[in-house]
Structure 1
Amino acid sequence: MSSTPKKLLVLGAGTAGTMVVNKLRRRLPHDQWSITVVDKDDVHDYQPGYLFIPFGINAPEQIRKTKRPFIGRGVEVVMGEIERVDAEAHEVHLAGGPTLGYDQLVIATGTTPRPDQTEGTLGPQWHREVGEFYTYDGALALHDQLDTFTGGRLVVHITEMPIKCPVAPLEFTFLADDWLRRRGLRETTELVFVTPLDGAFTKPVASRALGGLLEEKGVLVEPDFMVERIDQDRKVLVSFDEREVAYDQLVTIPLNMGADFVAASGLGDELNYVPVDRHTLIATGHDDIFALGDASNIPTSKAGSVAHFSVEVFVENFLEHVAGRPMTHRFDGHANCFVESGHGKALLLDFNYDTEPLTGTFPLPKVGPMTLLGESRANHLGKLAFRHVYWNALLPGRPIGLPAAMSMAGKNPA
């Protein structure tokens, strides 16, 4: 008489969740494990593509697809709103009453912009003079708004860290500079970058390089700016220390937070991110809950590359864990980020918990073809090509030839 299969329940069918179910379905025996993934809808967006929509570079149909075709056979898909996790009962409660049990739980519900957390953001000019590109609807609205822009003060603003893809606001600024020049509007536009950081980026070497690009492009930088409210009537950002930054068109990156059910379940920090061991990704105080992708509090970028590299490590650890063995693989915080710099060029950053972005070549020493912390056409083409890799290899869980651990090969010492 066969025993009942154990239940792996994955919350979230975004980048990390989809990769997890596809990879583990191939590795876990069907008669021993059932796999279920839960999400609120059947829409999957290629989120790096949001950046390009306002400038007309990506068509919306290249960005948005349905989720189910990317989830492998043998995985049950449940659509519903997650209300809370009952960790003691090993259950997840969905809105409307359904309850799903689990033996092992993976939280991969990402992070979401929360404009409601900053006073004045959601006023009558939201998605108009106060725009954003961190959602699909916001990116489309910003495209329409920029279409009518004829000059003035264009302000790109970060509310607080951490955010999805921390280089994206810089990329938007560089692309805006390029877009304005091509339209003959750069001379009549003051481009301003407002950040809570003391420089362009969180890592010193990269911050100097990216800050140099901002200066070279004539972008004004307002650092150490902690926004208290947006005054839409006066068209100004107001900081807690009462500084003001005026705008004609504001592009704001709202506070990012994890899912509300994480807080309701007592599993999150003050921003609803799940505290985990940064190497194994197992939730603090639990032996049957993991958090992957943007849903965890690991101290590295909230980016698709981190989801990819961490899932590679997680899969091997998970197989050891459910077999009753110690987890022997360690995620090193590896992040790999293209940075669009305009004019058909981009930079590439490659770093981890312990090593900040350095100059050099990637992935091969001297050969490249990508350059690290240096602008090149190859980097730009690499970023554009990655959309195809994402849909056709990354999500289905196929290998893409990059090691999960960061390598020093090709990097120049700081």
Structure 2
Amino acid sequence: MKNLLILGAGTSGTMMANHLVSKLPKSEWQISIVDQYKTHYYQPGFLFLPFDIYTTKQVKKNGKKFIPKGVNYVQEEIELIRPEANEVDLKNGQTMAYDVLIIATGSKIVPEEIEGMSGPEWHKSIFDFYTYEGAKALRNKLREWEGGKLVVHITEMPIKCPVAPLEFAFLADSYFKNKGMRDKVDITFVTPLGGAFTKPRATKTLHYLLEEKAIKEVTDFNIERVDYENNKIIDYADQEVSYDLLVTVPTNMGDPVIERSGLGDDLNFVPTDKATLQSQEHENIFVIGDASNIPASKAGSVAHFEAEILTENILRYIEGEPLKEEFDGHANCFIETGNGKALLIDFNYTHEPVEGTFPFPGVGPLSLLKESRTNHMGKMAFRWIYWNMLLKGINIPFVSATMNEKGKKLEEVS
């Protein structure tokens, strides 16, 4: 009996278990998945939790219910990956051997990387919304907050869901308008980038929306420290931004087990072939989702597209066939802009977010790079799709893993 071992039962790991369980012969392969946590979180929902758009029950479920029958589910912390021995050590002393390993350990926020960020004001006047605990604490704060300077801040790239901080700023504008106190709140968006987003075409559109909503924008801000005693963030050029309430996206890093195992780069992301999703150093190790260092967005849609291609490549690897160099960095992201509207962007390694329609050329029903209520409805529908289709390995109809170029005004990445 051969062993395929999946590390991590988040979005990527759970999808891969569901994709592979019906494709590998049970008489020859045992699939195991290891994760230390009982709860599976719908992480895109953390954006909505602070604004009371979603409840806590809507963003979390028991993770075991999404692991398919026939897969050995081990709930334990991973201590060490030993690729030279094809083994993984668990915290409880157990060792698991593998013939094929899938690393799906994701990424985590690391606020302690910045001086003063995780100090005594953490979850008091300084908040994150990239964790369940952070989003819930921020919800409680916003319910009672009487106004002042709200700063939405990105520490450094890459981060999970690069558009989420912008969405937070847009939703904050809408939230305080609905509470009748927008005039009491000064919103500033602070980013280390030269513009609002990583892609120039989308940046132009998003910058316009920031201006329209009277959200100030501070670019090229590379934070050095948080002065929590004087409510200021300070960058390496001694530029300062004052806040009363700081909502920050801390440094994102791969799981500490990647560092302990010597498999990662400076941010603990695993060097991965961007087209095949195979480890650059170990041919029987594959990497999916936020755990890899590929230059694609760390977002659920990307992991979904990766899973389709990685499933085929693992089957090819097992059969001794050449891997398909097929993953093109495809990302498809809704951007909430507040007031019941959203944008939709579609891009990959080589093409900027484009105008056009999605998923059907010339028909839609979703428009690209344009605000619409239909896009907002698509964003809201995604939670059902996530729990009932994506996690279960069911492909979304009419949405291809690689970017469909038909009916789009394409612009290549410079």
AA aligned to 1:15 is T
CA distance in structure 2 between the aligned counterparts of 1:107 and 1:288, rounded to whole angstroms: 11
Q: Which residue of the partner structure matches residue 174 of structure 2?
A: 178
1:397 aligns with 2:393: yes
Q: Which residue of the partner structure matches residue 404 of structure 2?
A: 407
Q: Which residue of the partner structure matches residue 330 of structure 2?
A: 334
Partner residue of 1:201 out of 197, 203, 207:
197
Partner residue of 1:25 out of 21, 28, 40:
21
CA distance in structure 2 between the aligned counterparts of 1:371 and 1:251, rounded to whole angstroms: 30
1:89 aligns with 2:85: yes
Shift in Å at residue 55 of structure 1? 0.4
SS in structure 2 of the partner of residue 154 of structure 1:
strand
AA aligned to 1:316 is E
Q: Show CA shifts across 1:17-71 (max 9, x none).
A: 0010111010000011100000011110000000000000001101000111101
Gaps of 5+ in 1: none
Mapping for residues 136-155 of structure 1, pairs under 5 Å: 136-155=132-151
AA aligned to 1:328 is K
What is the RMSD of the two structures over their aligned residues, measured on CA atoms?
Answer: 0.8
Shift in Å at residue 184 of structure 1? 1.6
Q: How many residues align?
A: 410
Contact kept? 1:56, 1:143, Cα under 8 Å: yes
Q: Which residue of the partner structure matches residue 102 of structure 2?
A: 106
CA distance in structure 2 between the aligned counterparts of 1:252 and 1:284, rounded to whole angstroms: 33
Q: Which residue of the partner structure matches residue 273 of structure 2?
A: 277
Q: Which residue of the partner structure matches residue 299 of structure 1?
A: 295
CA distance in structure 1 between the aligned counterparts of 2:316 and 2:188, rounded to whole angstroms: 50
Q: Which residue of the partner structure matches residue 256 of structure 1?
A: 252
1:70 aligns with 2:66: yes
CA distance in structure 2 between the aligned counterparts of 1:143 and 1:188, rounded to whole angstroms: 18
Contact kept? 2:351, 2:410, Cα under 8 Å: no
% of aligned pairs identical? 53
Mapping for residues 54-65 of structure 1, pairs under 5 Å: 54-65=50-61
Shift in Å at residue 125 of structure 1? 1.5
1:324 aligns with 2:323: no
CA distance in structure 2 between the aligned counterparts of 1:131 and 1:30, rounded to whole angstroms: 46
1:51 aligns with 2:47: yes
Query: TM-score, normalization: structure 1?
Result: 0.98
CA distance in structure 2 between the aligned counterparts of 1:120 and 1:215, rounded to whole angstroms: 30
SS in structure 2 of the partner of residue 407 of structure 1:
coil
CA distance in structure 1 between the aligned counterparts of 2:407 and 2:204, rounded to whole angstroms: 20
Gaps of 5+ in 2: none
CA distance in structure 2 between the aligned counterparts of 1:256 and 1:11, rounded to whole angstroms: 19
Runs of 4+ in 1 over 4 A off after TM superposition: none
CA distance in structure 1 between the aligned counterparts of 2:53 and 2:183, rounded to whole angstroms: 23
CA distance in structure 1 between the aligned counterparts of 2:142 and 2:150, rounded to whole angstroms: 10
Contact kept? 1:349, 1:357, Cα under 8 Å: yes
Shift in Å at residue 329 of structure 1? 4.7
CA distance in structure 2 between the aligned counterparts of 1:11 and 1:144, rounded to whole angstroms: 34
Q: Which residue of the partner structure matches residue 376 of structure 2?
A: 380
SS in structure 2 of the partner of residue 85 of structure 1:
strand
CA distance in structure 1 between the aligned counterparts of 2:262 and 2:185, rounded to whole angstroms: 47
Contact kept? 1:110, 1:295, Cα under 8 Å: yes
1:164 aligns with 2:130: no
AA aligned to 2:405 is M
CA distance in structure 1 between the aligned counterparts of 2:181 and 2:89, rounded to whole angstroms: 53
Q: Show CA shifts across 1:173-216 (max 9, x none).
A: 00000011111211121110000000000000001110110011
Q: Show CA shifts across 1:106-126 (max 9, x none).
A: 000101011111110112211
Query: TM-score, normalization: structure 2?
Result: 0.98
